[in-house]
Amino acid sequence: MKIHEYQAKDILARYGIPVQPGRVAHTPDEAEAIARELGGPVVIKAQVYVGGRGKAGGIQFGDTPEQARASAQKVLGMDIKGLTVEKVLVTSKIDIAEEYYLGIILDRKTQSPVVMISKEGGIDIEEVAANMPEKIIKQPIDMRWGLRPFEARELVARAGLPHHTIAKAGDILSKLAKAFIESDASLAEINPLALTADGKVQAADAKILIDDNGLFRQKEYAGWAETEESNPLEYEAKQAGLTYVKLDGDVGIIGNGAGLVMTTLDMVARAGGKPANFLDIGGGAKAEIMYKALLFVARDPQVKGILVNIFGGITRGEEVAKGVIMAQSDLPKGMPIVVRLSGTGSEEGKALLKDAGLEWGRDMREASEKIVAAINARGTQTYTASRAPESRIE
């Protein structure tokens, strides 16, 4: 799960990492008031879940509260890579002398969090990694201990940070590791870690990703989830417990099991179609879940037809068929649906589908070809979005 810069800095501050004072504003009025409170020049930073805010004009300055207001006016409502800026962080401007990079990322290979440090901060760390890999110091964290203060100091020293920053930067790094572990983060980055002209070391920008699997025990952070994180449909799906990813095409796809659904997308693409989404209903789904999933997929106005591909194991074919039949009357009239069932209960399911006059495919390939053909046969006809699934469930 993504969180905003101001939320990431909030977490860092709880662990004693120095950040500039500041607060979030939703209106130019609020921005002006915060700037007045802080006193002195401020930075206005767009709070959106994408990188490259600076280049897009999402970071502005204000030497006076009035200027802060004008800057906030400019940034609020701005479109950055398809996301509308709804809030800005108003924070004291600092005089940066040098910029460093501190990051912790979950590493699959070493099966542990890995610390990354570079003297070259303030720029895209992936660029540094690609062009000057020798400028990044990497070290896995031993999860028996966490990152102990002496290890953190050694690492920042190895990265070549100046002597007078070692104690402060080392302290910040060990606290960042503690924050990472205790917050169930999958990434925690301070970029830049700023050395100010007056010798302070502080987090000038911060990025944290929270592991979705940890959200059950990170209740406060779970409450920070916002619709703008992704497509509104993806957000709603998550709230409804569906594993859904929005894609660009027009063939709606539902299946059970991540690998099977991914393979179905590939198969539809091979048949000349363009998948509209990824939707995994998981194991053991009942008719109600199938019904809900179909109506959910059809809410995407781009969807012109739906392919259901189920390998029955714990999921039973007749339950799937019942769900599809239930959904038929609530889906846009005439929208093609092709169902492919195999395994447990598939014969019973097929019989039900046949009685209801629904199309089914022998295997994943035939079903993919059938749905693509059915959509092509109907030409450019569009459908009005289906009713919300809540109308029938609960």
Q: For residue 100, indicate whether it is catalytic.
A: no
DSSP characters for 286-323? -HHHHHHHHHHHHTSTT--EEEEEEEESSS-HHHHHHH
Instruction: Name which of 145 and 329 has its Cβ closer to another protein.
Output: 145
235 lies in the binding site for another protein (CB under 8 A)? no
Nearest distance from C-beta of residue 386 to another protein, angstroms:
23
181 lies in the binding site for another protein (CB under 8 A)? yes
Is residue 59 exposed (0-12), middle (13-18) or buried (19+ Cβ within 10 Å)? Answer: middle
Interface with another protein by CB under 8 A: which range of 17-25, 30-38, 105-113, 189-197? 105-113
146 lies in the binding site for another protein (CB under 8 A)? no
106 lies in the binding site for another protein (CB under 8 A)? yes
For 120-145, give one letter per residue: b (16+ CB within 10 A) or e. bbbeebeebeeeeeebbbbbebeeee
Q: Which of 5, 30, 99, 189 is catalytic?
A: 189
Nearest distance from C-beta of residue 41 to another protein, angstroms:
35
Phi then psi for residue 315, to 5 deg, are -80, 130
Instruction: Name which of 282 and 332 has its Cβ closer to another protein.
Output: 282
Q: Which of 30, 99, 100, 101 is catalytic?
A: 101
* Candidate list 245, 288, 348, 392; residue touching another protein; CB under 8 A: 245
Q: For residue 189, indicate whether it is catalytic.
A: yes
Interface with another protein by CB under 8 A: which range of 194-202, 220-228, 318-326, 357-365? 357-365
Task: Give residues 278-337 in contact with another protein (rule: CB under 8 A).
Answer: 278, 280, 283, 311, 313-314
Nearest distance from C-beta of residue 256 to another protein, angstroms:
6
Q: Tell me the CA distances in angstroms from 57 to 13, 61, 189, 260, one per residue in order.
A: 27, 11, 22, 42
Judge contact between 107 and 96, C-beta under 8 A.
no
DSSP structural state of residue 380: T
Q: Alpha helix (H) ranges present in 223-377?
A: 232-239, 258-270, 287-298, 317-328, 346-355, 364-377
Q: Give the catalytic positions in this structure.
A: 101, 189
Return residues touching another protein (CB under 8 A). Answer: 106, 108-109, 111-113, 126, 143-144, 181, 184, 186, 211-214, 216-217, 243, 245, 247, 255-263, 265-267, 269-270, 275, 278, 280, 283, 311, 313-314, 342-344, 363-365
